Amino acid sequence: MSLARRAPRPSFLQRFNLARFFKGDAPSAAPWVLDRRNVYILPTRQGLFFAVTLVIILLGAINYNNSLGYFLTFLLGSIAIVGILHTYRNLLRLEVRLANIEPAFAGGEVTVPVALHNPGTERREQIALAFADQEPNRCAIPACGQCVVSLRRPAGERGWQPVGRFSLASTFPLGLFRAWSHVVPDSHYLVYPEPASEARLPQTSRYMASLVGDQGIGSDDFAGLRGYRSGDSLKHVHWKALAREQGLLTKQFGGDRSERLWLDWRMLEGRETEARLSQLCRWVIEAGQQGLEFGLWLPDQIIEPGRGHAHQQQCLQALALFGG
């Protein structure tokens, strides 16, 4: 268990910088450990209301010289004070890390999975995590346990985006005090362009089919069987046929028969850069969904045709970072 702390101890002035109170520290690397320096606590509206109640009870006790009245006031006040410690403890020493953030599309939402680790032997109740102005997500973390909370926020603009500040807060157990801490990670996530609404793929007249056609030398689709020749890969031997005593047969594969699609920047002549990227983004998604083999042509980058998730991600990333 690495209890890595941020190495340089902040100076006195840095510690009493009021901006930290509202915004948190400058972005820093994981893990973030909540400690006395970055957990704040203030009464909630209910807490203030409670204080007023106590003052009224105390005045009554003084007026009537009522000892049990005094005692109840002090007991309730002490419970609130001890409650501060409990609320504070709920956040103290929590370790926060970010899991991998999946890229998002502009105009959509990004999901930030926050992993919380509780090193203590007491359960942490009712931790509310939230980006500024977002609805909080609540979770409880068992003793010595973990919990992952997926925070969502608007993805923002195309390109690399900082994760931004989120806060952890707790009013448990009494709701009279709210302890909170800001976490400002130095991580970024990738935002792809917003996909255009036009989903129709470009005309196939521009696509480049293989001139040679299927020659049975591809490797993707099963194309049939032929007699075994020496030098064929053992992997391609049709063992089941051998078992049925049909002789040694080799499985043949082809793949070049399928269509190849070029998604080309130049096809979208006359549109804005962002609109072009947006359209290309939509096409990449469509082509990926249809399982087509496609390449991407951009003024600064050409991605050779390919297929599969990784290829699609590569294309989308190229679009996201275009011109950047």
Partner 1 sequence: MARPNRLPLPNALLLAGITLVVLPHVPHLPLWLSIATLSVIAWRLLHDAGRVPLPNRFMRILLVLLAIAVLLVTYRTLVGREAGTALLVLMLVLKLFEMRSWRDVTVVVFLGFFVMVTAFLFSQSLLMGAYTLVVVALLIASLISFQQPTRPLAREPLLGDLRHAVRLVLQALPVALILFLLFPRIPGPLWGLPEDAAASRTGLSDEMEPGRISRLVDSNEVAFRVQFEGNRPAPAQRYWRGPILWQYDGRKWQTEPHRVRLPQQFDLDFNGPALDYQVTLEPHNRQWLFALEMPATLPEQAQLNSEYQLLSRRRVSEVFRYEVRSYTDYRLDPDILLERERYLALPPGTSPRTRELVKALAAETTSSSQLVQRVLDYFSEQPFYYTREPPLLFDDPVDEFVFETRRGFCEHYASAFTVMMRQAGIPARVVTGYYGGEMNPLADYMIVRQSDAHAWSEVWLQGRGWVRVDPTGVIPPSRIEMSADLAQREPAVRSRLDAERPWWLRSLRRAGYAWDAVNNRWQQWVVGYNQSRQNALLRALGMEDINWGKLVFLLMVILSLALLIIAALVFRSGAKTHKHVNRIYHRFLRKLARRGINKSPAETPGAFGERAVQQQPTKSERIGQITQTYLLLRYADLDTQTQRRYLKWFARAVRQFRPD
Per CB under 8 A, 4 contacts partner 1:
no
Could you say which of 16, 21, 49, 239 contacts partner 1 (CB under 8 A)?
Answer: 49
Nearer to partner 1 among residue 106 and residue 141 (C-beta): 141
Could you say which of 4, 42, 55, 56 contacts partner 1 (CB under 8 A)?
Answer: 56
Give the angle 165-7-19 at the CA atoms, nearest 5°.
35
> How many residues bind to partner 1 according to rule CB under 8 A?
58
Per CB under 8 A, 91 contacts partner 1:
no
Per CB under 8 A, 132 contacts partner 1:
no
- Stretch binding partner 1 (CB under 8 A), from 58-66, 156-164, 205-213, 224-232: 58-66
Per CB under 8 A, 99 contacts partner 1:
no
C-alpha to C-alpha distance for 31 and 287, rounded to whole angstroms:
39
Nearer to partner 1 among residue 45 and residue 271 (C-beta): 45
Nearer to partner 1 among residue 15 and residue 123 (C-beta): 123
20, 59, 19: which is closest to 37 by C-alpha? 20
CB 54, CB 76: distance < 8 Å: yes
111, 82, 117, 78: which is closest to 97 by C-alpha? 117
CB 274, CB 319: distance < 8 Å: no
- Report which residue type is found at 41: I
Assign 250 to helix, strand or coil.
Answer: strand
Could you say which of 11, 63, 203, 233 contacts partner 1 (CB under 8 A)?
Answer: 63
Per CB under 8 A, 37 contacts partner 1:
no
Could you say which of 18, 19, 26, 68 contacts partner 1 (CB under 8 A)?
Answer: 68
C-alpha to C-alpha distance for 322 and 157, rounded to whole angstroms:
13
C-alpha to C-alpha distance for 281 and 155, rounded to whole angstroms:
16
Per CB under 8 A, 10 contacts partner 1:
no
Per CB under 8 A, 288 contacts partner 1:
no
Quote helix, strand, coil % in the chain, to nearest 5. 30, 30, 40
Query: Where does this chain bind partner 1 (CB under 8 A)?
Result: 1, 3, 46, 49-50, 53, 56-57, 59-72, 74-79, 81-83, 85-86, 89, 92-93, 118-123, 125-126, 128, 135-136, 138, 142-145, 169, 171-175
